[in-house]
Amino acid sequence: MQFLFVADPLSTFNTKKDSTFAMMREAQKRGHVVFFCEPKGISWEVGGKVMAQVHQLRLTGELHNWYEEVVVEQQALASFDAVLMRKDPPFDSEFFYATHMLSQAEREGAKVYNKPAALRDHPEKMAVMEFPEVLGPTLITRNPQDIRDFHAQHQDIILKPLDGMGGMGIFRVGADGMNLGSIIETLNQQGATSVMVQKFLPAIAEGDKRILIIGGKPVPYCLARIPQGNEVRGNLAAGGKGVAQALSESDKAIAVKLGPVLLKRGLLLVGLDVIGDKVTEINVTSPTCFQEIQQQTGCDVPSLFVDALELAIQTSL
């Protein structure tokens, strides 16, 4: 089969850690043909099909020169057996427009994972709000006074932008309210920008767990991203230490509850962020941690994913 990966530039890939690379490697190992394009390479002319400037790749197995381009050509997205949307956040206007072109490609017969409509319907910070039973105290608002009231109620809080990734723009404000006004001004921009505010969860000391759900079922291991030093963020991009561990009973219960619901909506791959027994985010754009989990536990996450992808293609999920 032919798989098209829509992702960030190949030059940005860290092949020691990148989950999209791990998917590509497993696909090629099984005899599938790997293609790549950036979102900016997708186009749609009236009366025609959604096209892309695609690069057929051969993975070399080398560390640095890790791929060779076999063919570069214009090709309809509907001509591929699967299109995998793996563009990293932020979910900005260009990402939004790309999902609409991918939706058109679906109407032309393309099979896109995760489904473009599901990507639009599940912004990563906000999607969790639908599941209050697994969520700690959380507020999304543009009103600075709402934030101050939330702080007065919960004392120790986390503030974050809705379009951040990798721990970018996350602040903690304790009971003394130190710098709360300045942080609100920075994130809220005088009411112009929505902010997510959550009660601080002390269980972050044990790690911000990334639980992967593939084909509606949880991978049996998660990656606990543990903050280092005085840092409040566990994100690997913010210096957190990634420790793979077996899912707890609480982790399993959360995954079993949310997994089938999200799969039914067209989300083949989901990454839940869990602190203690509370979900803080539902990641759907380009969930990662495949290689870290595999390297530490031997659990072949890329294989689990390609198994689910092949089944989805065969069953027209």
Active-site position among 125, 251, 278, 292: 125
Cβ pair 197, 158 in contact under 8 A: yes
Token pair belonging to 16 = 């020691």
Token pair belonging to 91 = 């979910």
Active-site position among 87, 115, 225, 278: 225
**C-alpha–C-alpha distance, residues 298 and 171, integer Å:** 35
Q: Which of 192, 117, 211, 202 is nearest to 157 (CA)?
A: 202
Q: Is 273 a catalytic residue?
A: yes
The residue assigned the tokens 């903050």 is 227
**C-alpha–C-alpha distance, residues 36 and 16, integer Å:** 19
Q: Is 283 a catalytic residue?
A: yes
Token pair belonging to 283 = 């990641």
Active-site position among 87, 111, 233, 278: 233
Q: Is 65 a catalytic residue?
A: no
Active-site position among 86, 160, 209, 278: 160
Cβ pair 48, 16 in contact under 8 A: no
Q: Is 148 a catalytic residue?
A: no
Token pair belonging to 316 = 């027209």
Quickly list DSSP for 281-309: EEE-SS---HHHHHHHH---HHHHHHHHH
Q: Is 149 a catalytic residue?
A: no
**C-alpha–C-alpha distance, residues 160 and 168, integer Å:** 8
Active-site position among 115, 273, 278, 292: 273
8 CB-side CA count, 13 A: 14
Cβ pair 128, 135 in contact under 8 A: yes
Q: Is 210 a catalytic residue?
A: yes
**C-alpha–C-alpha distance, residues 284 and 59, integer Å:** 26
Q: Which long-range contacts (CB under 8 A, 24 or more apart) does 144-152 make?
A: 144/184, 144/188, 144/191, 147/180, 147/184, 147/188, 147/195, 147/197, 148/180, 148/184, 150/197, 151/177, 151/180, 151/197
Quick count: other Cβ atoms within 10 Å of Cβ 39? 18
**C-alpha–C-alpha distance, residues 106 and 62, integer Å:** 35
The residue assigned the tokens 């793979």 is 244
| Residues with active-site annotation | 125, 160, 210, 225, 233, 273, 281, 283
